[in-house]
Amino acid sequence: MSLYSKRGVSAQKEEVHAATKNIDKGLYARAFCKIYDDVLGGDKDWINVMHADGAGTKSILAYLYWKETGDISVWKGIAQDAIVMNLDDLLCVGIYDNLLFSSSIDRNKNRIPAEVLQAIIEGTQAFFDEMKKHGVAIHFMGGETADVGDVVRTVAVNGTMAARGKRDRIVTNEKIKPGNVIVGLASYGKAIYETEYNSGIGSNGLTSARHDVLNKFYAKNFPETFDETLEEDVTYIGLGRMTDEMEISFRNEVFQTNTGKLILSPTRTFAPFVRQILTEHFEDVAGLIHCSGGGQTKCMKYMPQGVRVVKDNLFDAPKIFQLIQQSSGADDREMYQVFNMGCRLEVYTDEKSADAIISTANAFGIDAQVIGRVEEARSNSLELNAPSGPVQYLF
């Protein structure tokens, strides 16, 4: 059993998928989010989408960093995580403008004071203001803040996002086919709309990141941050502290940072990029995949039957993932199905369109490259080149 499973979490969410297998899949079974007829407006030329997600256990890391350093600004990043985990899923069905967002914050009032709530709410609005500069309008509809200390030990930051979209401008992944190439966008670095280096961690696999990298100091001093039923051999088994300092080099620039800031890097949104490619290259986009839960295996949930996906030119894993793997001893198979490993958005397109899509990403300060391709096969599989050699997943 993997460390991830022993901690009571699942990269593939098998139990969730089993529980929802009989639920209506919407108009397009392979679309990244469920798409419905326009029940809100009653217009046959439009569709409705809604999505719910959140920052997950990353909020616990913010809690630890805040308690250890007093830096309350980390909570603004958690607000961004909760938004982007909704926004970037909706981007993958072609929705990038005029979105509605409602937040849901559950807290233990005895541990999470008013100033933390204020930082989260102000961080939410600050992110919306930044996106508006890039032509992505998100309307903050308020939400629910509940004091539920009997349920939540620290805080859970989540949200729901909804929008209408034109039926003839959505992305359903139905066009993905053998012969497509995959343009991958880096999750790390410093986009033009980011203020500091982003480690690329996103908001998935943070249970493993926290327990694998951080040491027993946190188990002893902050028992409220983990499930008391976990065995000691999977609880805060790392060697590090949040405040351990390090340098990161990127594009000939050196960034001074620490372990906590790397793990807490706000999830990068690709909204400005997606807005531009869907405006200028809509017909060239066969599919969009957000490599969130399930990491590099996420794409297989949305593939047509009879294909092999080959990813043989992935980015080198950035520092944060190297740190997690060194601390945990996890093999490449587990790492690539838990974490994005440096690539969090995939654009499925034809070979002649790839250069224009890569150039668009680069204009936003985002590294991009052709990471692989879709091939015809008898049964569905994924093969990727990892540092230890080829890894294959069967579906």
Contact 309, 372 (CB under 8 A): yes
pLDDT number for residue 20: 65
Residue in this structure with the two tokens 């620490």, named with its chain if needed? 258
Q: Specify the higher pLDDT residue, 13 or 393.
A: 393
Residue pointed to by tokens 């230890």: 388
pLDDT (0 to 100) of residue 25: 81
Average pLDDT in the 222-249 region? 94
Domain ranges of the chain: 3-195+264-394
For every residue of 73-100, DSSP letters joined together read THHHHHHHHHHHHHHHHHHTTT--SSEE
> For a pLDDT cut of 90, what percent of the chain falls above it?
92
Arithmetic mean of pLDDT, 87-108: 98
Distance CA 345, CA 274 (A): 10
Whether residue 4 has pLDDT greater than 60:
no
β-sheet bridge partners, residue 12 = none
Element (H, E) at 385: strand 381-386
- For 171-183, what is the mean pLDDT? 98
Return the CATH superfamily for domain 3-195+264-394. PurM-like, N-terminal domain (3.30.1330.10)
pLDDT at 16 over 80: no
Comparing CA positions, the residue from 75, 312, 62, 88 lying closest to residue 206 is 62
pLDDT tens figures, 245-295: 999 999 988 999 999 999 999 999 999 999 999 999 999 999 999 999 999
Return mean pLDDT, the chain. Answer: 95
Evaluate if residue 296 carries a pLDDT over 70.
yes
Rounded to whole angstroms, how far apart are CA atoms 80 and 157?
A: 10
> Which DSSP symbol is given to 40?
T
Judge whether residue 320 has pLDDT over 80.
yes
46-70 confidence digits (pLDDT tens): 999 999 999 999 999 999 999 999 9
Q: What is the mean pLDDT of residues 208-234?
A: 94
Four-residue CA torsion sign, 36, 56, 119, 366: negative
The arithmetic mean of pLDDT across residues 153-169, rounded, is 97
Give the three-state DSSP class for 162. strand
Residues in the chain: 395
State residue 24's pLDDT score: 80
d(CA 107, CA 130): 27
- Residue 228, token pair as written in the block: 């008391």
Q: Is the model's pLDDT at 13 over the cut of 70?
A: no
Q: Is the pLDDT of residue 136 over 90?
A: yes
pTM score, two decimals?
0.94
